[in-house]
Structure 1
Amino acid sequence: MSLHNEILIAKHLNKAIFKNRAVPIIIIFIGILLLYATFSGWKNYTNQKETSEKYQHESREDWLNNPDKNPHRMAHYGNFAFRKSTSLSMFEYGMEPFFGNAIFLEAHKQNSANFSEAGFSSSMMRFGEISIAMVLQILFPLLIFFIGFNAIATERENGTLKLLLSQGVSWKQILLGKTLGIASVIMILFIPIILVLLLVWMLLQNFTVSADEILKMMLFILFHFIYLLFFCVIAVLISAASKTSKNALVSLIGIWLLFTIILPRTTQSIGAYVYQAPSKIEFNSAIEKDILKQGDSHNPNDLHYKAIKDSLLSVYKVDSVQKLPFNYSGFIMTEGEKISSTIYNKHLDTLLQVYAKQNSFSKAVSFINPYIAIKNISMGLSNTDYDSYINFQKQAETYRYDMAQKMNALQIKYISNKKQNPTDTPQTINKNYWADVQEFQYEPKDVFTILKNELLSIISIALWIGILLFLIKIAYKNLKAI
């Protein structure tokens, strides 16, 4: 199929756009903003990576350099888990500045992540940093609407549209040609910035990139390209349906405000209002109450643990815990860790269900708002979404539980039950056992897990493609020149 007329229309629109002196200035400004966002993202990523690696190494050294001591004391001494940023996070900050990236891990207690970027920043930081994704998702659509609002409306106003149609050019060719014309202007910025991003992305990883990361980057580029085409089509359709260019501009600005500002904030507020989550204090208090109902493993007179002691004495046919063939205190700590961890995970799962219901509003609105859909996909691919944060919390909790239970197992095996005299030195084991606890390694979600989690957003993108194609078909059949 020949696109001769469409290409001519696109070239004509391209020239008309650049006759407006404001357009080159705006493009240069956004180009500078993109370069700044690239530099800022590169600096942020390298700082995060260096900081997390430094303190993860120091935490590991501190753990290994502990002297001979009681394993239970080591379990309370604790360790740290650090969340390393992924390479794509330099393009999309997502929720990363507002979530912590370090968790202190200790026996019998589950802590939340701390030390977020926003926690140490000014109010401007809390509003949001300038990232590549922010420019692509918010400023680019505004630029598209600015250069595309008069694509067809102006020709209707000055009478050239009627002349064009009388010469045998169809509405289908006009709509496609105008869309290509707007897209060609946007590609002047989009293509160079993608090439720069790819270069910086490769440099950050010393040109050693896994297949999973390559696929994430390709999807990041593809979805943003489709997203920008959406707005090119929307601009042309609104311009074609408007009587005047002024009406088209007002309509497009309204759509931009609705998509990028009003709907995202409204849905978040509605979700939080309808499905109210407990505060951190309420959450921790509920856990403490349930643990106390099960018993206090540090209290020798606790009824629950006294029953365990009596059953052990009966099974091993001894009259005191000092005569048991293993360390009784370590056994009780193991049981207490199981109980507290089970209760914590139960409450956490309940809390996550509340948050999932809150986020369901955002997922649902993505079907009528491509901005929310692309934001969810972008954050998922860059590992800066809420699910990634929860994934980090769960990995850290698994590591914490294994660490505590390994220390309890060492106490059971190597620490005697015999009570010490006040003058005796504390019972200890060799510090070489500390190396049995492996260093924490955070593993980000793979691309297929991300696509599964963001299936609704992907479906909404596909649905938007279908809707816009349908609207184009209706438009070229029903639009009039006047």
Structure 2
Amino acid sequence: MKILHTEILIAKHFKNSVFKNSAVYIITLFIGALLLYAAFSGWDNYNSQNETSEKYQHESREDWLKNPDKNPHRMAHYGNFAFRKSTSLSVFEFGMEPFFGNAIFLEAHKQNTANFSEAGFSNSMLRFGEISIAMVLQILLPLLIFFLGFNAVAFERENGTLKLLLSQGISWKQLLFGKILGIASVIMLLFIPTIIVLVFVWLLLQNFSISADETFKMILFILFHFIYLMFFCVIAVLVSASSKTSKKALVSLIGIWLILTIILPRTTQAIGAYLYEAPSKVAFNSAIEQDILKQGDSHNPNDVHYKAIKDSLLRTYKVDSVQKLPFNYSGFIMTEGERISSKIYNDHLEELLKIYAKQNSFSKAVSFLNPYIAVKNLSMGLSNTDYDSYIDFQKQAEVYRYNMAQKMNALQIKYISNKKPGPNEKPLTIGKEHWADVEEFHYEPKGIANVLKTEILSIISIIIWIIFLFVLIRFAAKNLKAI
């Protein structure tokens, strides 16, 4: 209790000395205003995107159901849309969401990518990043911590009070922990109100009806950001304690901040993309088209591959023309063509995703050197605004597209006659009530288990950072000098 009492006294003294500087009030108010703006901006962005997604998803569904009687294959080409709604935590962490599309047009024989990203309709300033609560917590608060802590110990050394404190029986360990608690107590004046607002907004967005999965995500979101800020409190005090002057400590801390939050994240992305080069979109689509052409063209009745299928069917059913088959031949061929083209696309996509996975794994490996990257990855993963969530949306949409196309092909096989109508006859169609057989698309965000599995490297790196900093404090407590 005596040791804890000493550390609390040191923390209180530091906190009181900090607020003697009027600049601290100005900076704190400025960051507080930014946090409020970020909360409002996130709220507005969330409501706007989800209202838009709901509106157009509903309109797309109505348009699909209102189609008149027609050939089911025409319906497969008419297509549908898949929209992705934002999760409640995306209010606080925008992540990559502004740059990824949130709508995909789904049609037979073709896989499209997501479109209508916010960046596509915004000016170039968006590329510098939007102001979100996560951005303030991850970038601006660490800078404030360094501003508060650069002279935590160095100033004591400069004015001679450090030697006096140590001579009165205060150990280096007590002094370091006291200063860390002092900085943390100041930062908590911003962090705690932010978390209160964050939780209230989060509950409000869900009408105070929350799931265990979302609750766990929120708890981890808060916990990881708290640990992250403590990292910077420790770093600030250790650099200050090892510096001869406050000026030297400030320069060192600003350099560390620039490296951790600005330089290293962008550098690792560039290096990862260079080491594991991905094909361009044109090259990717071209390779798929070439492989599909090697398998044959399902729309060409004279294609070698599909002619072999036709001959096999005629032999099996012992008929001499496709018109005599007991099912619609064109629908059967379209089913086969869809199966082949989808498999080719998915095979190419998996190869592309392996390249992106290598790029991302390089960046995640650097999180062992940089806690900012680890927390950023976890923050985006928990809010479903990361790259993996985007790919998950693409895959869910592709499963829906394939089932939609094959459902229409199955209807064609079952209900459409092989006999082609004459020039004055009604086109071969089925009733529009069949369109309801295709259910509406609903995107399901990744659960907490999948998020933690994806971000396991980031979690391990944070644990290692915690251990490393505790070891560093013990080492510093034994080796630091008063002069």
Same fold by TM-score greater than 0.5: yes
User: Which residue matches 1:31?
Assistant: 32
2: CA distance, partners of 1:397 / 1:440:
11
Write the letter of the residue equivalent to 1:149: F
User: Which residue matches 2:162?
Assistant: 161
Q: Does 1:469 align with 2:452?
A: no
2: CA distance, partners of 1:240 / 1:361:
33
User: Which residue matches 1:77?
Assistant: 78
User: Which residue matches 1:336?
Assistant: 337
1: CA distance, partners of 2:91 / 2:321:
61
2: CA distance, partners of 1:126 / 1:414:
52
Alignment of 1:40-79 (within 5 A): 40-79=41-80
**Helix, strand or coil for the counterpart of 1:96?**
coil
Task: Give the TM-score normalised by structure 2.
Answer: 0.99
2: CA distance, partners of 1:377 / 1:200:
20
2: CA distance, partners of 1:123 / 1:73:
40
1: CA distance, partners of 2:316 / 2:193:
75
1:45 offset after TM fit, Å? 0.3
Write the letter of the residue equivalent to 2:141: F
CA offset digits 1:325-378 (Å, max 9, x no partner): 000000000000000000000000000001011111111100010000000000
Q: Does 1:420 align with 2:424?
A: no
1: CA distance, partners of 2:187 / 2:212:
29
1:20 offset after TM fit, Å? 1.1
1: CA distance, partners of 2:25 / 2:70:
69
1:397 offset after TM fit, Å? 0.1
1: CA distance, partners of 2:354 / 2:273:
13
Write the letter of the residue equivalent to 1:95: M
**Helix, strand or coil for the counterpart of 1:35?**
helix
CA offset digits 1:68-123 (Å, max 9, x no partner): 11000000000000000000000000000000000000000000000000000011
Write the letter of the residue equivalent to 2:460: I
Write the letter of the residue equivalent to 1:118: A
Gap runs ≥5 in structure 1: none
1:126 offset after TM fit, Å? 2.1
2: CA distance, partners of 1:142 / 1:423:
78
**Helix, strand or coil for the counterpart of 2:465?**
helix
User: Which residue matches 1:326?
Assistant: 327
2: CA distance, partners of 1:280 / 1:150:
52
User: Which residue matches 1:236?
Assistant: 237
CA offset digits 1:451-476 (Å, max 9, x no partner): 01000000000000000000000000
CA offset digits 1:28-73 (Å, max 9, x no partner): 0000000000000000001111010110000000001111110000
2: CA distance, partners of 1:129 / 1:123:
11
**Helix, strand or coil for the counterpart of 2:389?**
helix
Alignment of 1:103-122 (within 5 A): 103-122=104-123
Write the letter of the residue equivalent to 2:88: S
Runs of 4+ in 1 over 2 A off after TM superposition: none
Alignment of 1:20-419 (within 5 A): 20-419=21-420
1: CA distance, partners of 2:210 / 2:53:
20
Write the letter of the residue equivalent to 1:45: Y
2: CA distance, partners of 1:48 / 1:204:
13
1: CA distance, partners of 2:411 / 2:232:
62
1:297 offset after TM fit, Å? 0.1
2: CA distance, partners of 1:125 / 1:369:
25
2: CA distance, partners of 1:149 / 1:406:
66
CA offset digits 1:224-263 (Å, max 9, x no partner): 0000000000000000000111110011001000000110
| Number of residue pairs the alignment of both structures matches | 482
1: CA distance, partners of 2:184 / 2:314:
79
1: CA distance, partners of 2:89 / 2:242:
39
2: CA distance, partners of 1:266 / 1:239:
27
**Helix, strand or coil for the counterpart of 2:481?**
coil
**Helix, strand or coil for the counterpart of 1:97?**
coil
2: CA distance, partners of 1:109 / 1:37:
39
1:188 offset after TM fit, Å? 0.3
1: CA distance, partners of 2:401 / 2:140:
43
Write the letter of the residue equivalent to 2:252: S
1:410 offset after TM fit, Å? 0.2
2: CA distance, partners of 1:407 / 1:321:
20
1:432 offset after TM fit, Å? 0.6
**Helix, strand or coil for the counterpart of 2:19?**
helix
User: Which residue matches 1:430?
Assistant: 431
2: CA distance, partners of 1:419 / 1:248:
84
Gap runs ≥5 in structure 2: none
- Residue range with higher mean Cα deviation, 397-406 or 199-208: 199-208
2: CA distance, partners of 1:352 / 1:250:
41
**Helix, strand or coil for the counterpart of 1:333?**
helix
1:204 offset after TM fit, Å? 1.2
**Helix, strand or coil for the counterpart of 2:98?**
helix
1:274 offset after TM fit, Å? 1.0
CA offset digits 1:176-202 (Å, max 9, x no partner): 000000000000000001101111111
Write the letter of the residue equivalent to 2:355: V
Write the letter of the residue equivalent to 1:355: Y
1:392 offset after TM fit, Å? 0.1
**Helix, strand or coil for the counterpart of 1:12?**
helix
Task: Give the TM-score normalised by structure 1.
Answer: 1.00
Write the letter of the residue equivalent to 1:161: L
1:125 offset after TM fit, Å? 1.3
